[in-house]
Structure 1
């Protein structure tokens, strides 16, 4: 649907590509000025009146479905080559698709960005943007705190001596265990996604906001060196040129933002020329620096069914700092109240009728991947090569081995131990470092945090795609605001960081317009 009549002229002040996590924020903030006109291009449908989307507890059913772009991974010699990278095809983007675990980035995350050349993005500068967020970010409600998740928290605290955290966003932490903060409404388990918080209240109230749903942006339009608009194709096959009088803002995410740039002739010259794509601007960093939070899994069968009250089946977690010289946590666990055996089953493991999982996760992975095109046809999915577990020191793989060992310590500690019947995978007989590493890498999966493919950096950084004002280097009238601009990965789940990128981008745009 469109929030304005069909005769709305195609020329607006700003065209935003992507009605997802950051795009929703920017659209809301810019159109608060009734004299500013904005068109949002969103490839997916409306999320209103969609209980399958708006009910947080139903998130797992969205993966791989009709609202998922579902990007495959290229062959991973040291990892799992069967990982499917879910990217949401719906208003609100991945905030309409994920578990809405909401962490304010740690000060060390922002300061690392500043050290990498993102001047003005240090912790002191970024902290105020968290308080501007409109999402309802609250700790998991008491009624949603499953008994076995409570016992996991107690057991982890007893086994590892980490502090119990009540409200991870109250102050910075190095380690701790507790229930997460979620962007949701506990009374009805409704998402407080970017679309719910930023677009639903205004999309039918502001005539200066036009939202084009189920519309795909396939190329940027240029007037000389200036991005002047976006070419789009609707679901019915018809097309349109949207002209931006001021700027085009690309918020299509870490996969589709570099994809759009490269199909528009902005990217590594040799790669584009090899595909016959005319090179408009040689920008070698587009698609490089692909980041993710890979994790493995260890699964236990429980003695019987566990209580089914939950916000979204992974309501509690643990952070550990193994190395006292690093500023934040270097190992993380989600605790799943389900036997998460999708990848182990490929190795012959069986899924127990009742069970739980711990997923050792790498907060600061050292491997770096790459995204690239395989065709000049914009409808062909790009290749995602995460190069999992390829860092020279083998830090990433060793982190997962340490995680499995710590998970076993927690599992044999009361009160959690009383729930558990047996370790299903990898199984108690798998004990050596090499065996554990092979298992951990083969069953590794993603928590859907791709980032970094149009990284922000200093003007003299050859692989930086945007400068600290989010402007694409060498192109006028074009900015990027999404997870692709991350120079490095946040140690925590990145959704709140993307929301804050949106808030800062809106401020930058407002300031420039004035």
Structure 2
């Protein structure tokens, strides 16, 4: 970053976050050579980094130098040891995750519209999927591990669900199959947001500036208008980046509300208590924290299993237990590894060879909050997901049902022939209360925080952005990332975030008109 302390640099748009949505918006806006945009990215480039670009190496990135690694506050009914990985690299979490790619279900979009996100219903949003530049394909035949194939077959036999080939071809309520991934099978290379949207243009567009390893720590406001953002480079140099048109926050469901709060935009009482001057009292900032928690059941296999795989969790299962549910209400990832990180804390041993099924809550009802504990920008915010605290105990009951259903699949051939024994929770754990206690204590995240700047009707006092993604009560400031989700999609949300980016670019006048 070639700036001097307190210098000012002007652009038409300043985009905070070069992640999943930020990459889309930067690319689309600068298709017009007369529009300039700066992207503020806290991490380095992903270009020429095989540790990032090789999809199967995704677990190496968790907790490492490219991870902001946010802790969870004490969880009275859940696992308090969950670490929330947030990627510190160009491409954001699309450079960090498994790239499991689901078009949000029509019921997910329609739920948003019902929550006050006018214009975000399914028929309006579906066309944005076809605009995506990512290479989204089913797991290739050569990556389809034999035990994963048998998992799919056993799920069909045990549960009577269909086998789905191409989860994005049409809406579904339940089914088992291999996922669609945003990757290039012949090389196992990611087709992340940065690879698809920025790599082809980042060295050729003079109107696109990408500021790497640069941290945005405060917004600059002139009255009710966002004028720009204060940034600090890795070497400590500071600058003000001003936006002639708009500032767009794409820093994700943790760092977007964090930046707003540090800038005095959020719940006034909370900010005053930390000595942060209240610039704009906006009570919804940091509220409505969502996630897709899941638990795990692990089996030891009879011996080593084949090691061909796209990323070790290539197949999954969706179940609709409640026929009145608009979509699936239980989901499983099938891991071709014994996923015992959290069970080991409770004394379970990791088998030398094994597999896991992870019952996941597609439509969680518990809601948490994000808040600051200090006015110091360097202090991480507190993430209180309030896991398993919904009044009807829906979330915990979903995991209990999930363990029972996983056991049904596991005792069905051909998968049963691979399995020697259930390692955890162990076949002796059978009662509802015991299963619930186990499932909650070893629960983990699949890194889907969302909802902390939720979208709603323009007159909704608890909404942070309106359906045009404009921050309520301010001018020149929009948000486009998972923080605007009013509710959690039933499926992995990355494609939804990419589609939010495409829609945001169109709202701003960029991309195909």
Query: Do these two structures clear the TM 0.5 threshold for a shared fold by scoring above it?
Result: yes
The answer for the alignment partner of 1:74 in structure 2 is 73
The answer for the alignment partner of 2:240 in structure 1 is 241
Unpaired runs of 5+ residues, structure 1, are none
Deviations 1:149-170 (A, max 9, x none): 0000000000000000000000
Relative to the length of structure 2, the TM-score reads: 0.98
Cα distance in structure 2, aligned partners of 1:90 and 1:45: 5
The answer for the alignment partner of 2:300 in structure 1 is 301
Q: Kindly report which structure 2 residues correspond to 1:467-482, keeping only aligned pairs within 5 A, or say none.
A: 467-482=466-481
Aligned-partner SS, 1:510:
coil
Cα distance in structure 2, aligned partners of 1:136 and 1:420: 35
Q: Which moved more, 1:360-369 or 1:455-464?
A: 455-464
User: Is 2:409 the partner of 1:410?
Assistant: yes
Aligned-partner SS, 2:217:
strand
Alpha-carbon offset, residue 241 of structure 1: 0.4
The answer for the alignment partner of 2:369 in structure 1 is 370
Alpha-carbon offset, residue 223 of structure 1: 1.4
The answer for the alignment partner of 1:260 in structure 2 is 259
Alpha-carbon offset, residue 9 of structure 1: 7.2
Cα distance in structure 1, aligned partners of 2:95 and 2:12: 27
Cα distance in structure 1, aligned partners of 2:289 and 2:429: 32
The answer for the alignment partner of 1:441 in structure 2 is 440
8 Å Cα contact 2:8-2:242 kept in structure 1: no
User: Is 2:18 the partner of 1:10?
Assistant: no
Deviations 1:166-223 (A, max 9, x none): 0000000000000000000000000000000000000000000000000000000011
Q: Kindly report which structure 2 residues correspond to 1:483-502, keeping only aligned pairs within 5 A, or say none.
A: 483-502=482-501
Q: Kindly report which structure 2 residues correspond to 1:120-139, keeping only aligned pairs within 5 A, or say none.
A: 120-139=119-138
Alpha-carbon offset, residue 362 of structure 1: 0.1
User: Is 2:352 the partner of 1:324?
Assistant: no
User: Is 2:91 the partner of 1:92?
Assistant: yes
The answer for the alignment partner of 2:218 in structure 1 is 219
Q: Which moved more, 1:425-434 or 1:220-229?
A: 220-229
The answer for the alignment partner of 1:146 in structure 2 is 145
Aligned-partner SS, 2:73:
coil
Q: Kindly report which structure 2 residues correspond to 1:5-44, keeping only aligned pairs within 5 A, or say none.
A: 10-44=9-43
Alpha-carbon offset, residue 461 of structure 1: 1.5
Cα distance in structure 1, aligned partners of 2:290 and 2:126: 23
Aligned-partner SS, 1:317:
strand
Deviations 1:293-315 (A, max 9, x none): 00000000000000000000000
8 Å Cα contact 2:12-2:243 kept in structure 1: yes
Cα distance in structure 2, aligned partners of 1:459 and 1:29: 26
Aligned-partner SS, 2:341:
coil
The answer for the alignment partner of 2:353 in structure 1 is 354
8 Å Cα contact 2:32-2:510 kept in structure 1: no
Q: Kindly report which structure 2 residues correspond to 1:152-301, keeping only aligned pairs within 5 A, or say none.
A: 152-301=151-300
8 Å Cα contact 2:136-2:182 kept in structure 1: yes
8 Å Cα contact 2:31-2:510 kept in structure 1: no
Cα distance in structure 2, aligned partners of 1:61 and 1:158: 35
8 Å Cα contact 2:94-2:193 kept in structure 1: yes
RMSD: 1.3
Cα distance in structure 2, aligned partners of 1:36 and 1:419: 58
The answer for the alignment partner of 1:109 in structure 2 is 108
Q: Kindly report which structure 2 residues correspond to 1:389-404, keeping only aligned pairs within 5 A, or say none.
A: 389-404=388-403
Which 4+ runs in 1 deviate beyond 3 A? none
Deviations 1:434-474 (A, max 9, x none): 00000000000000000000000012212100000000001
Cα distance in structure 2, aligned partners of 1:27 and 1:272: 31
Cα distance in structure 2, aligned partners of 1:254 and 1:463: 16
Cα distance in structure 1, aligned partners of 2:236 and 2:407: 54
Cα distance in structure 2, aligned partners of 1:222 and 1:449: 30
Cα distance in structure 2, aligned partners of 1:10 and 1:269: 31
Deviations 1:74-115 (A, max 9, x none): 000000000000000000000000000000000000000000
Cα distance in structure 2, aligned partners of 1:54 and 1:395: 38
Alpha-carbon offset, residue 224 of structure 1: 1.5
Equivalent pairs, count = 509
Cα distance in structure 1, aligned partners of 2:393 and 2:248: 38
User: Is 2:60 the partner of 1:65?
Assistant: no
Cα distance in structure 2, aligned partners of 1:222 and 1:150: 55
Alpha-carbon offset, residue 511 of structure 1: 7.1
Aligned-partner SS, 1:10:
strand
Unpaired runs of 5+ residues, structure 2, are none
